[in-house]
Amino acid sequence: LYFPALLRLLGFTVSASYNSYCIVLNIATAWISYFCFSKIFQRHHIGIVCSALYTLSVFRIYKLIITSATGEGTAVTFIPLVLYGLYRIFTEEPEEENYKTAWIPLMLGVSGLIQSHVLTCEITAGVIFLFCLVCLRRLFRRNTIWELAKAALASLLLSLWFLVPFLDYYITQDVHIKHVSGRTIQDRGLYLEQLAFQFWGGG
C-alpha cells in the first residue's frame, strides 16, 4: 500500500488514491497473467484469453472493488507468477542453460504473496506442497529441488523487511487473528452454490 499512501501524502484524496491503486493493480494483473499464461501455453492468443478470464474473475473483482479486500486483491496478482515458476521448474530440462533462472518467477510470486496477504500465501504453499507430491518423480531430478530451494530462500530474504516486524507484532500483541477460533464455520462458511454467485449483496 505504499503507492496509494504516497498519493495521499502528495495531496490526493483517500478515494482517489485507492482508485488509482485499483487501476494500477488491474493493469498489473492483466499484464502478469498474460505474460505467464502465454509462456506456459506457448500461444499469445491463449495468453490473452486466460488473462481476460483471470483479470475479470468475479471473485477477484468482488474482493477488490466490492469489499475493498486490498490484500487479497493484491495477492491474486502474483499467483500466475507462482504457476509459471512451477511450470518452468517441473517441465524444463535441468540440463538446459536457462533452467538456472527457472526459480525467479516462483520467487517473485511467493514474495508478492507474503507481502500482500498471508492467508493466500499459506493456501498457495499448501497447493505447492501437494503439487510437489503429485510430481514426486520430477521433484528428484537433478537441480529441481535446488531451484525450489533457491526460490524459497530468496523469497524469505526478500521479505525479511516485512516478516520480522510482522512476526514481532503478532507474537507480542493481542491481535484479532488469535481469536478466530471463536468464529464458527456455520457463521462464516459458504454453501456450495454460493461459490457460483455472480451478483453479491450484503450479509
C-alpha angle 10/16/20, rounded to 5°? 95
Cell of 23: 487501476
**What pLDDT, on a 0 to 100 scale, did the predictor assign at position 194?**
75
Q: What is the mean pLDDT of the chain?
A: 89
Alpha carbon distance 86, 24 (integer Å): 26
Coil/strand/helix, residue 142: coil
Does residue 189 or residue 77 have the better pLDDT? 77
pTM: 0.85
Cell 495477492: give the residue: 75
pLDDT(34) > 60: yes
- Predicted confidence (pLDDT) per residue in 158-201, tens digit: 999 999 999 999 889 888 777 766 666 667 677 777 777 766 66
Q: Which long-range contacts (CB under 8 A, 24 or more apart) does 12-18 make?
A: 18/68, 18/70
- What confidence score (pLDDT) does residue 175 get? 80
What is residue 63's DSSP assignment?
I
Alpha-carbon distance of 72 to 24, in angstroms, equals 15
- The reported pLDDT for the residue numbered 196 is 76
Q: Which residue has the higher pLDDT, 1 or 166?
A: 166
Cβ atoms 34, 48 nearer than 8 A:
yes
Distance CA 128, CA 126 (A): 5
